[in-house]
Amino acid sequence: MNSSPTNTKPRKLGRGLSSLISEPVSVEVAPNIQTFTEHSTSATNQSQSIPVTQISVSPFQPRRAIDEAALGQLADSIRRSGVMQPIIVRPLPNAGFELVAGERRWRAAQRAGLETIPAVVRTLSDADAAEWALVENIQREDLNPMERAWALRQMQEKFGLTHAQLAGRVSLERSTVANLIRLTELEPEIAAMIVNGEISAGHGRALLGMPSGAPRLGLAKAAAVGGWSVRRIEQAVQRPDEAIPEPAKQVIEEATGREAVLRDLERQVSQQLGTKVIINTDKQGKKGKMVIEFYGLDHFDGLLARMGVRAT
């Protein structure tokens, strides 16, 4: 007896969240709605306009930093054309909604001055909400390797998943999942190098072959300063006594000394202004930027006064 083959292939990435929702999404915009109290529990993908103030951030959001410049550009686009793709939310037990996917659109909509945003309301478990949030960002290639690594580790630990199970949930190879999660074992300083693009995730994996601590951190700095290949790090890990040549050590010492000077300057300026100050420079220390944080309009006015600037 002939029977049609059963499609057992796992879901593949590349089609956005429509691959998880399984139905096309239609957008229905009602910008004048001020309140929304009914929770949708149906499987429909008809969007509804929900007040942005009734939506809270997902605890499963894997992205740890949002590009402010890109967010501003998205807000400008939303002012001109509106929100073209609805966000996805799930109802909270008491009231309001929790973001599942679309945090950048939600934040940009608030920045653009929108009171409501089109959203698809779905009833999801914690595991499903975490999966959808991670898959959306992986598909959009929005996450840096460390954000992906920590998101996968969070899912693994919270829901007790094996690497194979986790790989099946997010449509990645098991080896890819295992290698990403291992990156969370790196020192915060090395993780920051990966986030900033000074070294790659491949460099990070190679560094895991060396015991943690100062030697591994020193090797990472040498690789960043010298522009080492992954293969060069692997060779250095096998011969730790020869890991860092003298020229590289000198460059590292100079960079470390410059870092100490910058931190001291940050401390002095912070004390003078009474707020947190961050100073970043290029590798040569010849140019960069200084970020002065403020926590409200009154605080901002006070900072301006301390710098001798009068707001008009």
Catalytic residue set: 103
Q: What is the DSSP letter of 26?
A: B
**Two tokens, residue 277:** 């100050």
- Those residues with Cβ within 8 angstroms of residue 82's Cβ, 6 or more apart along the chain or in another chain: 29
Give me the residues paired with residue 55 across strands: 97
Tokens 């290029």 map to which residue?
Answer: 282
Q: How far apart are CA 203 and CA 108, in angstroms?
A: 34
What does DSSP assign to residue 46?
A: B
3-state secondary structure of 210: coil
Contacts of 213 (CB under 8 A, 6+ apart): 187
d(CA 119, CA 89): 7
Buried b (16+ CB within 10 A) or exposed e, 171-208: ebeeeebbbbbebeebeeebbebbeeebbebbbbbbbb
